Amino acid sequence: MSRIAYVNGIYAPHREAAVHIEDRGYQFADGVYEVCEVRDGRLVDETRHLDRLARSLSELRMAWPVSRPALCVILREVVARNRVRDGLVYFQVTRGVARRDFMFPAHQRSSLVVTARSADRAALDTAAGQGIAVVTRPDNRWERVDIKTVGLLPNVLAKQAAKEAGAKEAWFVDANGYVTEGGSSNAWIIVGNTIQTRPAETGILRGVTRTTLLDLLAREGLKLKERPFKVGEALKADEAFITSATTIVTPVVKIDGKPVGSGKPGPVALKLRKAFHNIAELA
Ligand code: PDD
C-alpha cells in the first residue's frame, strides 16, 4: 500500500510530496511540529498536542495554516488514508514560502505537512520491556526549548552520538550538572517511593506524555517531586525512565555504560507504561 502525505491542501503519494525550496522551515528551521501517538486508530492526547501547537505558534507569532477543527479532520484523514491502527501522526507548521529574508514575510501563509506511519506495537512493547541505555551529553541548545521547533540539530547530534555508543537516547546535562531532558523525550528517576522529574518551567519541553503521566501519578496516589536531578543521583536511583509520544514510558537501565538500580527495567516504570492509556485521551 502506498503512503500518502498531506502538503498544503493536497493529499499526495509520500514519495512525491514536497515543499518549495524557499519554505522557511527548510531555510531557517522556522517551524514547529507535533508527534501524536495513534492507538487502535485513535489519536492519543490530541487535545494536549493541539494546545501545545497553539502555544508554539503563538510564541513564534506564526499563523495557523488551517483552523484547529480543520487540522483535526486532516490528521484523521492522513491516519485513515495510510491505514494506521498503531503508529504515529506527524504534523509540521512552518512560516511558509517567501524570498529568503530573515524578517517575517508580509504574508501569513503558513505551510502544513502531515504524515503518518504504522508501528509494530507488540515489538515496541517487547523492546521497552528490555529497557534502554542512555548516554549523557552537554546541553548546548538554545533557551527556548519549551517551543517545539523543528530546529533540532543539537538533538540530532546527541542522538547520533547515543547510537554510536550503542545507546537509544541521549540525556542532555546543563551547566550545573543537572539532567534537562532526552534528545526526544523527558527524563525521570524513582528514588524509594518518590518519582522525580525536572520542573517544566526551564530547560525542557513540557511533554504531553509527561503531563498525562502526572495525572496518572496523582490518580494512583504516587509521590511526585518536580525537582531537577544530577547524573549521579540517577545512577543511585532505584529506577529511571523516559517519556514521549513514541516511547510512552520506557525504562532506562544504563547511563553512560553504568547500570541504574538493578540494571533491569524497574517494576514501577513498567506498571506506569501499562496503565498509561487508561488515563490518556483517546479521540
Ligand atoms: N519528541 N523533549 C523533547 C526534546 C522532545 O522532542 C519530545 C518529543 C519530548 C516529549 O514530548 P511528548 O511527550 O509530548 O512526546 C520531550 C517527539 C516524540 C519527536 O520529536 O519525535
148 part of the active site? yes
Q: How far is the CA of 19 from the centre of ligand 1 (A)?
A: 24
Q: Read off the pLDDT band of 280 (50, 70, 90).
A: very high
Q: pLDDT-derived band of residue 17, with 50, 70 and 90 as boundaries?
A: very high
Among protein residues, the one with the nearest Cα to ligand 1's atom 11 is 207
Cell 553512560 belongs to which residue?
Answer: 256
pLDDT at 48: 99
Pairing mode of beta strands 87-94, 42-43: unpaired
For residue range 177-229, what is the model confidence (pLDDT) as tens digits?
999 999 999 999 999 999 999 999 999 999 999 999 999 999 999 999 999 99
236: helix, coil or strand? helix
pLDDT in tens, 64-122: 999 999 999 999 999 999 999 999 999 999 999 999 999 999 999 999 999 999 999 99
Tell me which of 33, 52, 184 to substitute to probe ligand 1's pocket, judged by most ligand atoms within 8 Å of the beta carbon.
184
- Position 162 confidence tier, pLDDT thresholds 50, 70, 90: very high
Bridge-based pairing of strands 248-255 and 132-138 is parallel
The pLDDT confidence band at residue 245, using thresholds 50, 70 and 90, is: very high
Compute the average pLDDT of residues 123-143.
Answer: 97
Residue 240 pLDDT greater than 90, yes or no: yes
Query: ∠133-125-228 over CA atoms, to 5°?
Result: 45
Ligand 1 centroid–CA 33 distance in Å is 10
pTM: 0.98
Burial classification of residue 99, based on how many CB atoms lie within 10 Å of its CB (0-12 exposed, 13-18 middle, 19 or more buried): exposed
- pLDDT score of 246: 98
pLDDT at 7 over 90: yes
Query: Rounded to the nearest whole angstrom, what is the distance from the C-alpha of residue 106 to the centroid of ligand 1?
Result: 31
Q: State the chain's mean pLDDT as an integer.
A: 98
Produce one character per residue of 153-170: b if its CB has 16 or more CB atoms within 10 Å, e if not: ebbeebbeebeeeebbbb
Using CB distances shorter than 6 Å, the residues near ligand 1 are 35, 181, 184-186, 205, 207-210, 243-246
pLDDT at 242: 98
Tell me how far CA of residue 270 lies from CA of 126, 149, 253, in angstroms. Answer: 11, 30, 12
Confidence (pLDDT) at 138: 98
pLDDT at 225: 98
Q: Average pLDDT, stretch 142-161?
A: 98
Q: Which of 148, 159, 168, 254 is catalytic?
A: 148
Q: In this model, does residue 1 exceed pLDDT 80?
A: no
Spacing, Cα 204 to ligand 1 middle (Å):
10
The sign of the torsion formed by the CA atoms of 146, 152, 153, 159 equals positive
Best probe residue, ligand 1, of 56, 148, 149 (max atoms within 8 Å of C-beta) = 148
CA 28 to CA 22: how far, in whole Å?
10
Which strand (E) or helix (H) includes residue 262?
Answer: none
